[in-house]
Structure 1
Amino acid sequence: MSNHQELPNTLQKTSIPVLAQETSGFFALFYKEVKRFWRVSFQTVAAPVLTAILYMMIFGHVLEDHVKVYEQISYTAFLIPGLVMMSLLQNAFANTSSSLIQSKITGNLIFVLLAPLSHLEFFLAYVLAAMLRGVVVGLGVLMATIGFVDLQAYAILWIVLFALLSSAVLGALGLIAGIWAEKFDQLAAFQNFFIMPATMLSGVFYSIHTLPSIWQTISHFNPFFYMIDGFRYGFFGVSDVSPWMSLAIVATFFLIVASIAIRMLAKGYKLRH
């Protein structure tokens, strides 16, 4: 049998999924990234949902009768959208950053770089997968906590818009962190000293109007605050700042971080040695 006859049989035995074989490199990379987090969904999805439930049970139980943010809205109801968004943001960031640093350390990133992919396709595949993980975790938190209070959506479009745009921002930030970091310690520092404080100090557990004036001013320089405040507006129809202002700031922040990430990819910064 000639080589031309043997080639199709060889291809049939390969371990690459048929779906990935028959589609573009962009979709193959996106498929790989989604499969990567979904295969360990107990860790990447279930664990963050459990953490959010514990936050809600502890803070909601302790502060329910002591904190009043908006009229006719209980503290537990106020807390849930913040926990949903916090979980969404942290997991969108974790998806791209952890994937890239693992690929760099194990050395298999070279196979992705050798594929016929443009830097824009590379960016979109990683960020879209991060958005999917963030939204899945956010939905999991919402479904697990919504039974504790009577939570109704005031404007679903605002909820969806801020969820997608904010997860895209953190996916792009995770890409930047994963490209910049050369070891897990550096990535952990980026997450612990930037992502975590910015998320926790963005109004997840409180309204900024309860803070002293100096901290209110500082909070307005935190883009994460606008993500959570705009998302919360979609549930209650009230917010600390105008949702249109929040949308403009989050969209601008996304354009900035996306431009930086795409530029780093185009130059091969810390990717090609």
Structure 2
Amino acid sequence: MSDIASFEQGTRRFGRVNWLGLLTLCQREIQRFMNVWTQTLLAPLVTAGLFMVIFSIAIGPRRGDVMGMPFTTFIAPGIMMMTVIQNAFANTSSSIVIAKVQGNIVDTLMPPLSGGEMVLGYLAGGIARGLVVAVVIAVGLGLVLGVWPQHPLVMLAFVLLGAAFLSGLGIVAGVFAEKFDQMAAITNFVVTPLAFLSGTFYSVEALPPVMYEITHLNPIFYLIDGARYGMIGVSDSSPLLGFFIAVASVAAINVIGWRMFARGYRLKA
């Protein structure tokens, strides 16, 4: 009997990975946001469109060109990337916090999933949601503004890195927060300022020296700047430097999330 159990366990964890459990968690996280697509996909697209309309009407005609690009064209990639990272963060953080508040986080903790497998499962949902949002907004920008990606592979790389970074940050925030108001505080006082103060609506070359240096410490700046290069071919910093900083940021934040799951930090009573 023990030999049969050992065989089944070995098959299910082929290569020391619980593929069945991992794929099930990935499917659950993706299906979770797809079931309420009007809230998780349509609403962010409407918000991004409103940003474009408001800035175009209020500032666009008087602002002139930025780095040789019309103002509306310049801010379009930033708005797209900001929407991607906000949705990636919301997907993982809300999934974990809701499960903790409702008391069903045990359904995720009881299966034989390692900390790394849980991180990958939650990341799949956040990255998938961010990628879908990015594709739809990019198509909309192309049809409405005639702005199509000049370096599509570069843009795709930064979109995936941005979604992975904010999904990882959402995992850390979701594990840390014990109730909804704590999660709201992290969103309002950490994620939103980092996203808005990262060159989304302006070139950092126009900032005072102190703010210029502070902005370059913000990893989201490199994500937005890299996406802008991929979309319209201009950037405030080297896309290669931004790529390496983004990769390092993704690795660092997800290692923290892995350690939290592995230790059961604020998850196990």
TM-score (norm 1): 0.89
Instruction: Pick one of 243, 250, 257 that aligns with 1:254.
Output: 250
Does the 8 A contact of 2:73 with 2:147 survive in 1?
yes
Q: How far did residue 119 of structure 1 move?
A: 1.2
RMSD over aligned Cα atoms: 1.1
1:227 and 1:57 mapped to 2: Cα distance? 23
Q: How far did residue 102 of structure 1 move?
A: 0.4
Structure-to-structure mapping, 1:1-273, within 5 angstroms:
24-67=20-63, 68-71=65-68, 73-273=69-269
Q: How far did residue 118 of structure 1 move?
A: 1.3
Q: How far did residue 140 of structure 1 move?
A: 2.2
Opposite residue 164 of structure 1, the aligned amino acid is L
Q: How far did residue 137 of structure 1 move?
A: 1.4
2:123 and 2:86 mapped to 1: Cα distance? 13
Does the 8 A contact of 2:88 with 2:130 survive in 1?
yes
Question: Gaps spanning 5+ residues in structure 2: where?
Answer: 1-18
Aligned residue in 1 for 2:5: none
Secondary structure of 2:116 counterpart: helix
Q: How far did residue 40 of structure 1 move?
A: 0.4
Secondary structure of 1:135 counterpart: helix
Q: How far did residue 214 of structure 1 move?
A: 1.8
Secondary structure of 1:87 counterpart: helix
Q: How far did residue 63 of structure 1 move?
A: 1.9
Identity across the alignment (%) = 41
2:150 and 2:137 mapped to 1: Cα distance? 19
Q: How far did residue 87 of structure 1 move?
A: 0.4
Question: Gaps spanning 5+ residues in structure 1: where?
Answer: 1-22
Pair member with larger Rg: 1
Aligned residue in 1 for 2:12: none
Does the 8 A contact of 1:83 with 1:141 survive in 2?
no
Does the 8 A contact of 1:60 with 1:79 survive in 2?
no
Q: How far did residue 264 of structure 1 move?
A: 0.7
2:146 and 2:35 mapped to 1: Cα distance? 33
Opposite residue 69 of structure 1, the aligned amino acid is V
2:255 and 2:208 mapped to 1: Cα distance? 35
Opposite residue 77 of structure 2, the aligned amino acid is P
Does the 8 A contact of 1:119 with 1:265 survive in 2?
yes
1:152 and 1:96 mapped to 2: Cα distance? 29
Q: How far did residue 148 of structure 1 move?
A: 2.7
